Amino acid sequence: MSVSSIPSAQEIVRFAPEIALSLGGTFVMLGEAGLKNGSRARLAVMAFLTLLAAAVLAVFVAADPGTAFSNLLVVDGFSTFFRVLVCAAGMLVVLISTNYLRVEGHDSGEYYALILFSVAGQCLMAASNELIMLFIGLECSSIASYVLAGYLRDDRRNNEAALKYFLLGSFASAFFLYGVAWLWGALGTTNLSEVRRLLLDPSAGVDATMTAAAAALLLVGLAFKVSAAPFQMWAPDVYQGAPAPVAAFLSVGPKAAAFAMFLRILMTAFVPARGQWEPVLWTVALATMVIGNFAALHQTNVKRLLAYSSIAHAGYILVALTAMSDTGAAAAMFYLAAYTFMNIGAFAVVTYVAGRGERHVELMDFSGLSRRSPAMAAVLSIFLLSLTGVPLTAGFFGKFYIFKAALDADLVWLAVLGLLNSAVAAYYYLRIIVMMYMHEPSAGAGALPSPGVGIRWALAASVAGTFVLGVAPSLVLDFATASAPLLR
């Protein structure tokens, strides 16, 4: 391996999206200090454009794939897919945040800067080919997220969410880092391709126990970040307590990036140890689906319900990971794209209905929404049906690919149990629809204000995404299928 201390121009170009995001975040922060109160709206626009630019750059640099910085980063189809995805998630979240922050009286540049830094970390997670680099990306994304979760610092719920998220998240990061250290101790490398090579090489004399212990520690960290059982407890509390747009962000951006990282570690480094990973992943996937779905059945707070739902969805994606195959990786990628649209869309409507101070986040507050705001009720129904997995929405093909991949990998029982789980999930999504359409508005629930421009655009984009992926899934699936084998 040629190690040069000075990165070449080509290598820097491959790092362009992260550079753009970091610079954008810095400028938004400076703008916060320099601009008058009246022109703060421009900061949101600036953040949005930065994310757009980063996504475009990610596509642009993908024309010349390869590694950068001594094989620490890799630009391939897989990293491009996730870079674009997390940037898109960031854009949607910026759109739904503007009005919310104004109403809450906390409209400031820091919020957008934190989103940009977090997305930068997520892009780095998507593109890293090395565990230390992954860890840096993870921390960059996580620390910004911790602050975001407690963004409304006068709000007690926010404080609780941020503290929980920070303490448990740091713990998980420590586990992950400890796993990296062990792996280094066992194999003498933190490069994922190297790990794979050593595991495949019988003459390398790999200490199997040490490696397994390291893998277990990595798994703990990853399971926490994707909110997989038994490390899912933080998610409901954090999603419920955090500001609604931040909950939307947490449920998608960091999660997608964590899954990118999970896939990269699993498919690039640990495929040779498939036999040991499979039973563990099998159990984790099933437990995650079951806990998420059955806990969601009893929720009365919509944010909390969506939190458990997002745990269940992590379970479905873990089914795809359990397959440990190219089709499984492609299915997980497609699912995350579908999930981004439908979940941010659902949270966007929740943000809107919640109103000032998020006083209306109980299930009861959605009763009769179809009368108070027919368009919002219709749009939320679309997202919920997509989360259920009804055909012609993105969620259907998402689930279809995952269970197809599971069957392809002979995981018949996991597929059966997963499918039954998805039928259970229909119940709690339908409960919200029942509230909106089949109950009258509660007394005193007045007309809702007209939604802001940002939310409208975010909803339009999410509905479009949900339907496009549901009717013409080939657009994304073919790309995912083509880039999944690059992980090996």
Partner 1 sequence: MSENLLSIVLFTPLAGLLVLLFLPRENTKLIRWWANLTAAAGFLASLPLLLRFDRAADGYQFVEKREWIPSLGVSYFIGIDGISLLLVMLTTAMGLIAIFYSWDVIRTREKEYYAMFLLQQTGMIGVFVSLDFLLFYVFWELVLVPMYFIIGVWGGPRKLYAAIKFFLYTLAGGVLMLLGILTLYFQYAAQYGRYTFEITELMKLNLPLGMQQWVFWAFFLGFAIKVPMFPFHTWLPDAHTEAPTAGSVILAAVLLKMGTYGFIRFSLPLLPRASADQTIVTVLIVLSLIGILYGALVSLMQQDWKKLVAYSSVSHLGFCTLGIFALNEAGIAGSVIQQLNHGISTGMLFLIVGVIYERRHTRMIAEYGGLAHVMPNYAIVFAFAMLSSAGLPLLNGFVGEFTILQGAFQASKWWAALAVPGVVFGAAYLLWLYQRTMLGEVTNEKNKGLPDLSWREWAVFVPLMIWALTIGVYPKPYFEILEKPVAQIVHRVHQTSTAVAQADGTAREAISR
Q: Which is nearer to partner 1, 41 or 423 (CB)?
A: 423
- Give the nearest distance from C-beta 421 to partner 1 in angstroms: 9
Instruction: Give the H/E segment covering residue 44.
Output: helix 41-61
- Of the candidates 109, 110, 117, 114, the one whose C-alpha atom is nearest the C-alpha of residue 40 is 109
Please, which of residues 369-388 interact with partner 1 by CB under 8 A?
370, 374, 385, 388
Q: Does 299 bind partner 1 (CB under 8 A)?
A: no
Q: Does 481 bind partner 1 (CB under 8 A)?
A: yes
Cβ count near 423 (within 10 Å): 11
Q: Which is nearer to partner 1, 91 or 469 (CB)?
A: 469
How would you class 360 by CB atoms within 10 Å of its CB: exposed for 0-12, middle for 13-18, buried for 19 or more? middle
In contact, 168 and 234? CB cutoff 8 Å: yes
Q: Find all residues with CB under 8 Å of 227, minimum gap 6, and list them.
A: 234, 235, 255, 288, 310, 311, 314
The interface region with partner 1, picked from 191-199, 286-294, 334-342, 406-414 by CB under 8 A, is 406-414
Task: Please name the residue ranges forming H helices in 150-243.
Answer: 156-187, 192-200, 208-225, 234-241
- Give the nearest distance from C-beta 427 to partner 1 in angstroms: 6
Q: Does 279 bind partner 1 (CB under 8 A)?
A: no
Two structure tokens written together for 259: 């899954």
Q: Does 396 bind partner 1 (CB under 8 A)?
A: yes
Task: Please name the residue ranges forming H helices in 226-373.
Answer: 234-241, 244-264, 274-296, 302-323, 326-354, 369-372
DSSP state of 201: -
- Give the nearest distance from C-beta 31 to partner 1 in angstroms: 41
Q: Does 478 bind partner 1 (CB under 8 A)?
A: yes
Q: Does 200 bind partner 1 (CB under 8 A)?
A: no
In contact, 322 and 406? CB cutoff 8 Å: yes
In contact, 254 and 320? CB cutoff 8 Å: no
Residue from 137, 343, 403, 461 in contact with partner 1 (CB under 8 A): 403
Residue corresponding to tokens 């802001």: 452
Please, which of residues 435-474 interact with partner 1 by CB under 8 A?
437-438, 473-474
Two structure tokens written together for 413: 């029982």
User: In angstroms, rounded to a whole number, what is the distance separating the alpha carbons of residues 119 and 323?
Assistant: 28
Residue from 102, 157, 197, 404 in contact with partner 1 (CB under 8 A): 404
Map residues 408-427 to x or -, x wherever contact with partner 1 holds by CB under 8 A: x---x--xx--xx-xx--xx
Q: Does 391 bind partner 1 (CB under 8 A)?
A: yes
- Give the nearest distance from C-beta 428 to partner 1 in angstroms: 11
The interface region with partner 1, picked from 85-93, 169-177, 316-324, 405-413 by CB under 8 A, is 405-413
User: In angstroms, rounded to a whole number, what is the distance separating the alpha carbons of residues 371 and 390?
Assistant: 24
Two structure tokens written together for 88: 């898109």
Q: Does 118 bind partner 1 (CB under 8 A)?
A: no
- Give the nearest distance from C-beta 310 to partner 1 in angstroms: 21
Q: Does 332 bind partner 1 (CB under 8 A)?
A: no
Q: Which residues bind partner 1 (CB under 8 A)?
A: 370, 374, 385, 388, 390-392, 396, 400, 403-404, 407-408, 412, 415-416, 419-420, 422-423, 426-427, 430, 433-434, 437-438, 473-474, 477-478, 481
